[in-house]
Amino acid sequence: MNKKVITICLVACSIVAGLLLIPVSGIVAQDNGRAQLTLNGGRQGPVPFNHQLHQAIVEECAVCHKDFGKKTGALDEAKKTGALKAKQVMYKTCMACHRAKKRAGEKFGPISCSACHA
């Protein structure tokens, strides 16, 4: 074989190998959303939400996102369509977790309405 054929084969193999790594890099570089969010708190006012802190503590997205999607406005949309009731996530997920952490003697989040709503 001559050098030109070997070079072409090596370049082709490199391209194919690079293309095979694209799906893996997509899994590793997962979009975790914004670090800080402001949730619609209804009549009580907005709820500043430290998304990054919750990701570090909870680690598994499905714990919170089992009831609503991972996109901007998903929580409000789920309430609007009737998939979720008002305060359902707050009481059954957020407050339940915060109270369980308090009972366990761990650092916990707010457990009163006024502590979250701005």
Local structure of residue 87 (DSSP, 8 states): T
Q: Is 40 annotated as a binding residue?
A: no
Q: Is 9 annotated as a binding residue?
A: no
Q: Is 113 annotated as a binding residue?
A: yes
Q: Is 117 annotated as a binding residue?
A: yes
Q: Is 54 annotated as a binding residue?
A: yes
Q: Is 13 annotated as a binding residue?
A: no
- Are the C-beta atoms of residues 51 and 70 closer than 8 Å to each other? no
- Measure the CA–CA gap between 17 and 36, rounded to whole angstroms: 37
DSSP three-state, residue 47 = strand
Q: Is 116 annotated as a binding residue?
A: yes
Exposed e or buried b for every residue in 62-73, given b needs 16+ CB within 10 A?
eebbeebeeeee
* Annotated binding residues for heme c: 51, 54, 61, 64-65, 94, 97-98, 113, 116-117
* Annotated binding residues: 51, 54, 61, 64-65, 94, 97-98, 113, 116-117
